[in-house]
Amino acid sequence: MKTCAVCHQPLKPLHSFRFQEGSLCPECYRKASLFYKQTITDLSFDEVVANIVKAGQTPDGFEISEKIGPFLAVDRKHHQFAILKGGKFQEEFSTVHAYPADEIVDCQVKGDPAAEMSALSVQVKMKDHSDLSIDLAKKPIRTSSFAFRQSYHLARRMKDCLDKEKIANR
């Protein structure tokens, strides 16, 4: 019987996925394709393994309860959140880190809608004294612009969401 080239479990006929030098089981394929974002048919064994290592950096068992813009994902079931780096969720998710929600000390929107120009971020202080920054506008932008108003609204929503998590997990 054919087995998965990576984890060596037996392959069922309709549940095996070919790469250049062999076949993978559904679970290894899920990771090797970086969560179905990359075709694996032309990948070598080394490339397959490299992708699986990369995918393994995904926070374990993260379930998205809420996602705010391309910035923040919350997992209420496991009381954790992840800061995203823009773009599509699964791609970026392979390299993000999940933080425990009960370690949020304080959360503030940093930006001044009354000024003419302002940068915009959400600052999260954690129990271990690390400061997390969710940057919506790294450089100051015109506060009267649609982009700023929309981002400011998102920043407020993220603060409210994280505040709620903080209280819920006390």
Q: Which is nearer to Zn ion, 7 or 168 (CB)?
A: 7
CA distance 132 to 105: 11
If the CB atoms of residues 7 and 167 are measured against Zn ion, the closer one turns out to be: 7
Residue 162 CB neighbour total at 10 angstroms: 24
Q: What single string gives the DSSP state of each residue in 28-61?
A: HHHHHTTTTTS--TT--HHHHHHHHHHHTTSPTT
Decide whether 8 or 138 has the Cβ nearer to Zn ion: 8
- Cβ of residue 59: shortest distance to Zn ion, in angstroms? 21
Total residues belonging to the chain: 170
Q: How far is the CB of 21 from Zn ion (least distance, A)?
A: 14
β 80-83/66-68 pair status:
unpaired
Residues at the site binding Zn ion, with contacts judged by CB under 5 A: 4, 6-7, 25, 28
Give the alpha-carbon dihedral of 74, 102, 151, 133, to 10 degrees: -110
Backbone angles phi, psi at 27, to 5 degrees: -70, -45
Least Å distance between CB 78 and Zn ion?
25
To the nearest whole angstrom, how small is the minimum distance from the Cβ of residue 38 to Zn ion?
17
The nearest distance, CB 40 to Zn ion, in angstroms, is 12
C-beta closer to Zn ion: residue 56 or 87: 56
Backbone angles phi, psi at 116, to 5 degrees: -75, -45
